[in-house]
Amino acid sequence: RKDDLTTIVVFGASGDLAKKKTFPALFHLYVSNLLPLHSRIFGYARSNLSREDFEARVTANIGKTPEERAKIPGFLKICDYIQGQYDKGEDFRRLLENIVKQERVMTADIYSDYENAVINKRNKRVFYLALPPSQFVSVASQIKQNAYDPKHVNRLVIEKPFGNDSESSHQLSEDIGKLFSEDEVYRIDHYLGKEMVKNILALRFANVFYQAVWNKEHIANIQIVFKETIGTEGRGGYFDNVGIIRDVIQNHLLQVLSIVAMEEPSSLKSEDIRDQKTEVLKKIKPIGLDQVLLGQYTKSADGSKPGYKDDAGVPENSNTPTFAEMVLEIDNDRWRGVPWVIKAGKALDNAKVLIRIQFKERSGDMFPDLARNELVVQVSPEEAIYMKTLVKEPGLSTNLTISELDLTYRSRFEGIKIPDAYSTLILDVLNGDHSNFVRADELEEAWRIVTPLLHQIDSGKVEPLPYPYGSRGPEGVDEFPELRAGYKVPEI
Ligand code: BG6
């Protein structure tokens, strides 16, 4: 609502996430007039930043066009920096004083008295933790003790990693759950803010023709693919404790899978959606070693690109996978018997994130030996939906050919700027919409699926297969799903 007062505190304001994602997203909302009229943003961090230093960080990644640049001074006016420790009550109390001071200033514009605004729950305080997970609980607990007031609307935003296996994730949820109610917590998985991921719901449930064929009767297999061309490039020290499964599969790709696979929610309300996502994850058994092909990249064939183990911080004997391909099954009436192939890797031959749904062959003798229909939803690099469709070869021929109904967003929705995932997610937080955030029970299910496998990898029992930087993946990458599915799954 226009007369709401909104305060956003960005913890970790001097860090990379804030600089690259959080501040640009807030600026984007500001420029688009989507930040509530009465908003204040506080950056909070340990570093002793001057006003200039702070402004330099806030503006480092914004203002690409002259129109945007013209809005920077106005944006900076609503931003303030507060230096403080993450474990000192007095610093958080000082933060609260500043919040209240600014709220009173904002109230003066619209309400006769501050208490009235508070009583009507017109005050929102969003605490955004752009921090490493080791700080989550301590900062959340400082907020709770020193900067939390139940008379206001309080929201806590955190971002993955949420633990590194079932147990640690459960512990984190429990610790956070003692401080903030689930309703107050927003767990960011930035894939849920991506245009084409958000689109799945519309595609599936607003179109009668997809709704009708979205099941094992008509679908042969589904592939969810995440390919990057870059390796870990200097992040190896961090990545080695993570690996590709924790980095993108447990979170981003299982989230995508749950939306593609879930039953129709009874409404668009966030809890109805999240109930269905959780339900479908419950129907997936933990992945066994025989369901997965693991790889680790080595030097490129021409020697120009380094191998994973050449990255500083990666131990010589590391068995951390930088590639994983797995075939899952969902044990419910809609999907029983349909293979779900998840493929993710770094340092591969091309950069693509997509969902590919391959339909079964048409039955009957009228058109024998036809290629299969496919629906592809491309998440990146370019948003697109295309449907491989059989048509008669144009002209005098009566042969059939496979072509594409192509909905490439750049050409179809010319001039529309697709927002960064973080802008849409922060807007959701401001609106109190949880649909695109991960609930504790969903998180638990996703970890349950991958934890036994991760433990086997962590204990050193598994050796990933080598693949050269820039290749399609380890040997067997194309045959692996075929072996599991019992028929050829098309290559990507
Ligand atoms: C992050 C991973 O969560 O997602 C990165 O930690 C990965 O390793 C990134 O590169 C991919 O996100 P996007 O938005 O670039 O597809």
Give the per-residue pLDDT at 481: 79
Name the residue of 247, 350, 378 to mutate for ligand 1: max ligand atoms within 8 A of Cβ: 247
Q: Please count the residues of the chain.
A: 492
Q: Which atom of ligand 1 is nearest to the CA of 190?
A: 14
- Residue 285 Cα, ligand 1 centroid: separation in angstroms? 26
390 C-alpha to center of ligand 1: Å? 35
For residue 11, how far is its CA from the centre of ligand 1 (angstroms)?
21
- pLDDT tens by residue, the chain, 492 residues: 666 789 999 999 999 999 999 999 999 999 999 998 889 999 999 999 999 999 999 999 998 899 999 999 999 999 999 999 999 999 999 999 999 999 888 877 666 666 666 656 678 999 999 999 999 999 999 999 999 988 889 999 999 999 999 999 999 999 999 999 999 999 999 999 999 999 999 999 999 999 999 999 999 999 999 999 999 998 999 999 999 999 999 999 999 999 999 999 999 999 999 999 999 999 999 999 989 999 999 999 999 999 999 999 999 999 999 999 999 999 999 999 999 999 999 999 999 999 999 999 887 778 877 889 999 999 999 999 999 999 999 999 989 999 999 999 999 998 888 999 999 999 999 999 999 999 999 999 999 999 999 999 999 989 999 999 999 999 999 888 776 666 666 665
Residues 6+ apart with CB under 8 A from 64: none
Q: What local confidence, expressed as pLDDT, does residue 485 receive?
A: 63
Residue nearest to atom 13 of ligand 1 (CA): 191
> What pTM was computed for the model?
0.95
pLDDT at 489: 61
Contact 372, 359 (CB under 8 A): yes
Report the b/e string of 134-154 with b at 16+ CB within 10 A.
ebbbebbbbbbebbbeeebbb
Ligand 1 centroid to Cα of residue 53, in Å, is 27
Q: Please say whether the beta carbons of 26 and 427 come within 8 A.
A: no
Nearest CA to ligand 1 atom 5: 247
Ligand 1 atom nearest to 353, measured from its CA: 16
Task: Specify the DSSP element, H or E, that contains 7.
Answer: strand 5-11
Residues 344 and 250: their CA atoms lie apart, in Å, by 11
CA of 320 to the centre of ligand 1 (A): 17
Which ranges of 183-329 does DSSP label H, i.e. alpha helix? 195-206, 208-213, 236-239, 243-244, 254-261, 270-282
| ipTM value for the complex | 0.98
Between CA 477 and CA 342 the distance in angstroms is 12
Whose C-alpha lies nearest to ligand 1, atom 8? 247
Ligand 1 pocket, Cβ-based, cut-off 6 angstroms: 228, 247-248, 353, 380
Q: What local confidence, expressed as pLDDT, does residue 415 receive?
A: 86
Mutational pocket test of ligand 1: of 197, 228, 378, 418, the residue with most ligand atoms within 8 Å of the beta carbon: 228
In ligand 1, the atom with minimum distance to the C-alpha of 194 is 14
Which atom belonging to ligand 1 lies closest to the Cα atom of 235?
Answer: 8
Predicted confidence at residue 10, as pLDDT, reads: 98
Q: Which atom in ligand 1 lies closest to the alpha carbon of residue 160? A: 3
Distances (CA, A) of 113 to 105, 116, 418: 11, 6, 40
Helix (H) or strand (E) holding 54: helix 51-59
Distance 421 CA to ligand 1 centre (A): 12
Instruction: Looking at the CA of residue 252, tell me the nearest atom of ligand 1.
Output: 3
- The residue contributing the CA closest to ligand 1 atom 4 is 248
What whole-number distance in Å separates Cα of residue 323 and Cα of residue 348? 9
Q: Let me know: does 49 contact 121? Beta carbons within 8 Å.
A: no
Could you tell me the two tokens for 234? Answer: 């200097």
Tokens, residue 43 = 């950056």
Quick one: tokens of 137?
A: 């609980």
Residue listed under structure tokens 């079964």: 360
The one-letter code for the residue type at 451 is T
* 3-state SS, one letter per residue, for 459-474: CCCCCCEEEECCECCC
The closest of 451, 382, 345, 421 to 159, measured between CA atoms, is 421
> What is d(CA 225, CA 353) in angstroms, rounded to the nearest whole number?
5
Angle at 292 between CA 243 and CA 163, to 5 degrees: 35
Q: What are phi and psi of 5, to 5 degrees?
A: -100, 135
Catalytic choice (28, 190, 252, 434) = 252
Peptide bond into 381 cis (omega under 30): yes
Q: How far is the CA of 248 from the centre of ligand 1 (A)?
A: 7
Look at residue 355 in the predicted model and tell me its pLDDT: 98
* Tokens standing for residue 68: 């945007």
Hey, how many other C-beta atoms are within 10 angstroms of the C-beta on 47? Answer: 13
The answer to whether 152 is a known catalytic residue is: no
Query: Vertex 48, ends 46 and 54: CA angle to 5°?
Result: 95
Distance 61 CA to ligand 1 centre (A): 18
Instruction: Give the residue, out of 159, 246, 252, with the most ligand 1 atoms within 8 A of its beta carbon, to mutate for a pocket test.
Output: 252
